[in-house]
């Protein structure tokens, strides 16, 4: 953290305020944030003829932020922004303060200003903003922000995973699957991505297995009622249809097992498909 300093003109009758600001700066450098905030605010409330630079507001905002005094932090960061002091950091930590207060909409909008002020940090700030948007259930914003983080390769695998999750939250199931597949291809071995994609394949495989089982069950029911014989071509056709579904299910389920060997459902369904195809 860069401590902002500046020239202070002191008149003898305002010496106390000047000393408190100096001590506040020392406390801030020593990471005694609560003490620094108290000293700063005491000085600022009784400046007298002491002339202080507007830049001091960044220091006070920083002390407030690290003292969990988030409302005060926002107020002082705003003053620093107005004075054009540490604008990029002010927006970033103002956004962080809003997030801490669970004011997610305000936080996301402030992160956007931070990104505009500091384009070199766009990927990092977008990731942080994406997490905030996700917490606030502002999913369309989160999708855009995580995409920027992925493109900028900031915490790429994690950003890709959250991008996929947001797609699912938005009901974009095809995009959810595609995003996971892209993630597994780009970030091979990432367990969150592989486990999530494996679960998608298990769900698809289970659907195919059930379709095959239903076809076979209905054919056998006709045999049991006497309306069809196992020797009939129609029965053979239905069995063939069911095996086609089981075969397709097996192919998808094997992909799931390759991605996540610990997935018990994939293993059970593979066994069931093999048994049904005998």
Q: Across residues 59-73, what is the average pLDDT? A: 97
| CATH number of the CATH domain containing 10 | 1.25.40.10
Residue that is last in its domain, among 25, 50, 85: 85
Residue that is last in its domain, among 85, 103, 122: 85
Element (H, E) at 108: helix 104-117
Measured distance CA(240)–CA(95) in Å, rounded: 61
Predicted pLDDT at 10: 43
Phi, psi of 51 (to 5 degrees): -100, 115
- Answer whether residue 52 is part of any domain: yes
Share of the chain above pLDDT 70, in %: 94
pLDDT above 70: residue 5 = no
- Candidates 73, 3, 9, 5; CA nearest to 37 is 73
pLDDT above 50: residue 111 = yes
pLDDT above 60: residue 95 = yes
- Answer whether residue 19 is part of any domain: yes
Q: Across residues 183-210, what is the average pLDDT? A: 97
pLDDT above 80: residue 245 = yes
pLDDT above 50: residue 17 = yes
Residue that is last in its domain, among 63, 85, 107: 85
- Answer whether residue 93 is part of any domain: no
Structural domain count of the chain: 2
- Answer whether residue 150 is part of any domain: no
Domain interval for residue 242: 197-276
pLDDT above 60: residue 8 = no
- Answer whether residue 114 is part of any domain: no
- Answer whether residue 62 is part of any domain: yes
Predicted pLDDT at 50: 67
Predicted pLDDT at 244: 97
CB burial class (10 A; 0-12, 13-18, 19+) of residue 126? buried
- Answer whether residue 149 is part of any domain: no
Q: Across residues 82-93, what is the average pLDDT? A: 96
Q: Across residues 19-42, what is the average pLDDT? A: 94
Predicted pLDDT at 2: 52
- Answer whether residue 140 is part of any domain: no
């Amino acid at each position: 953290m860069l401590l902002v300093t500046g020239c202070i003109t002191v008149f003898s009758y305002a010496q106390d305020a000047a000393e408190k600001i100096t001590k506040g700066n020392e406390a801030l450098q020593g990471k005694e944030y609560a003490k620094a905030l108290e000293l700063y605010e005491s000085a600022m409330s009784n400046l007298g003829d002491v002339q202080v630079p507007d830049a001091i507001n960044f220091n006070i905002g920083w002390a407030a932020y690290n003292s969990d005094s988030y409302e005060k932090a926002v107020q002082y960061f705003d003053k620093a922004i107005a004075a054009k002091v540490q604008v990029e950091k002010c927006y970033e930590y103002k956004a962080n303060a809003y997030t801490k207060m669970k004011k997610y909409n305000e936080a996301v909008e402030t992160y956007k200003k931070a990104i505009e002020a500091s384009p070199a940090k766009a990927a990092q700030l977008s990731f942080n903003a994406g997490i905030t948007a996700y917490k606030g259930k502002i999913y369309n914003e989160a999708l855009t922000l995580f995409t920027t983080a992925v493109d900028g390769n900031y915490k790429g695998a994690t950003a890709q995973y959250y991008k996929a999750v947001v797609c699912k939250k938005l009901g974009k199931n095809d995009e959810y699957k595609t995003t996971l597949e892209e993630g597994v291809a780009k970030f091979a071995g990432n367990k969150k991505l592989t486990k999530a994609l494996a679960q998608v394949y298990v769900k698809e495989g289970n659907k195919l297995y059930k379709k095959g089982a239903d076809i076979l069950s209905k054919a056998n029911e006709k045999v049991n009622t006497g309306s069809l014989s196992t020797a009939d071509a129609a029965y053979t056709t239905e069995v063939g249809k069911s095996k086609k579904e089981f075969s397709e299910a097996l192919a998808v389920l094997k992909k799931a097992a390759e991605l996540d060997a610990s997935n018990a459902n994939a293993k059970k369904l593979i066994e069931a498909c093999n048994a049904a195809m005998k």
